[in-house]
Amino acid sequence: MSVAVCAESFRVADYDLAATLQSGQAFRWTPQGGGWEGVIGQRWVRLRQTASDRIDAEAAAPVAHWNWLRGYLRLDDNLAAMLATFPPDPPLQAACTACRGLRLLAQDPWECLASFILSSTKQIVQIRQIVERLCVRFGTAVESPAGTPSWRAFPSAERLAALPEETLRSCGMGFRAPYLLAAARAVAAGQLDLAALPHLPLSTALARLQTLPGVGPKIAHCVLLFTGAHETAFPVDVWVFRALRQLYFPRRQPSAARLRQFTATHFGPHAGLAQQYLFHHVRTQIPRS
């Protein structure tokens, strides 16, 4: 499917596109000719940071407006103002300095939920592989310009809900197959309203997500943070846990409860962004992985 392209250029400040797209919050962006290709919703997109203050975008025509991209990339966030709310502690400030321009995205809730259900005890490379297989096999084709690989949308909840568990399992997701299927069915049936999550209190939104099998606190926080639903969502995975322990509790291991209380209070109104800086910092500083 070949189609004409519409282009636009956005002025940005403090935006590191590469770091943002590779920071483990989204799993489909692919480096391509000095830029990044991917799909947002039902649309093929190519992004390229051409200067520290500029991001160029191309998308399959027609493009009536670019609000969907502004929204996804959160281009209207005032990063400096958000960083200014952070506590002035040395570890966090070091992470902010090292990862200048790292941003949060506002992704589609279903794709984000499904992807993070697949993420448990998987390396990011493998999560990407499973997601890719799902898209190739069950996603609808999206139009892209000649010369680009064929791209597909992330499969809808309805589509996945109709599949047998074994078919999902054959994408290499192992024991996560029944979890993904249950989530797809809950969303497709309207039993879980993802669109409502931003309007609920954080604790309620977390509880809703955690009614799904295979969705615990970590994945629930990820979904609420990476869809732009809750700024104080604070996923604690193995990396963030190690970072928090080393940086803030060097003496003695904090209890789970103590740690939860700390992450819920110490980092302020943009705690989730702080989490992303800590995560990306430890993952890029420390050799390998």
Partner DNA sequence: TGCCAGGTCATGG
Partner DNA sequence: CCATGACATGGC
From 134-142, 150-158, 168-176, 196-204, span contacting DNA (CB under 7 A): 168-176
Interface with DNA in residues 237-256 (CB under 7 A): 237-240, 255-256
CB of 38 to DNA, least distance (A): 16
C-alpha to C-alpha distances, 219 to 29, 188, 222, nearest whole angstrom: 20, 19, 5
Cα torsion at 215, 217, 221, 223 (round to 10°)? 0
Q: Is position 222 an interface residue for DNA (rule: CB under 7 A)? A: yes
In terms of CB distance, is 164 or 174 closer to DNA?
174
CB of 86 to DNA, least distance (A): 17
Q: Going residue by residue from 4 to 43, which x/- string records binding to DNA, judged by CB under 7 A?
A: -------------------xxx------------------
Query: H/E element holding 41?
Result: none
- For the CA atoms of the chain, what is the radius of gyration? 19
Q: Are 233 and 272 in contact (CB under 8 A)?
A: yes
C-alpha to C-alpha distances, 284 to 133, 196, 246, 287, 289, nearest whole angstrom: 27, 35, 16, 7, 8
Q: Is position 279 an interface residue for DNA (rule: CB under 7 A)? A: yes
How far is 150 from 44, CA to CA, in rounded Å?
Answer: 10
Active-site residue flag, 218: yes
CB of 206 to DNA, least distance (A): 10
From 32-40, 64-72, 105-113, 169-177, span contacting DNA (CB under 7 A): 169-177
Choosing from 93, 129, 148, 284, the residue that interacts with DNA (CB under 7 A) is: 129
Choosing from 20, 49, 107, 120, the residue that interacts with DNA (CB under 7 A) is: 120
Choosing from 214, 227, 270, 281, the residue that interacts with DNA (CB under 7 A) is: 214
56's CB contacts (< 8 A; 6+ apart) are 7, 8, 9, 10, 35, 47, 48, 49, 50
In terms of CB distance, is 62 or 250 closer to DNA?
250
Q: Going residue by residue from 179 to 208, which x/- string records binding to DNA, judged by CB under 7 A?
A: ------------------------------
In terms of CB distance, is 35 or 214 closer to DNA?
214
From 6-14, 40-48, 85-93, 231-239, span contacting DNA (CB under 7 A): 231-239
Which of 28, 46, 128, 218 is an active site residue? 218
Q: Are 112 and 159 in contact (CB under 8 A)?
A: no
CB of 191 to DNA, least distance (A): 16
Q: DSSP class of residue 154?
A: P
Q: Is position 277 an interface residue for DNA (rule: CB under 7 A)? A: no
The CA angle 196-102-118, to the nearest 5 degrees, is 50
C-alpha to C-alpha distances, 148 to 3, 68, 134, nearest whole angstrom: 11, 22, 19
Instruction: Using the CB atoms, write b or e for 132-169: b if 16+ within 10 Å.
Output: bebbeebbeebbbbeebeebbbbbbbebbbebeeeebb
In terms of CB distance, is 133 or 159 closer to DNA?
133
Tokens in use for 45? 């997109």
Binding stretches for DNA (CB under 7 A) = 23-25, 119-127, 129, 169, 172-175, 210, 212-220, 222, 235-240, 255-257, 275-276, 279, 288-289
Q: Which residues are catalytic?
A: 218
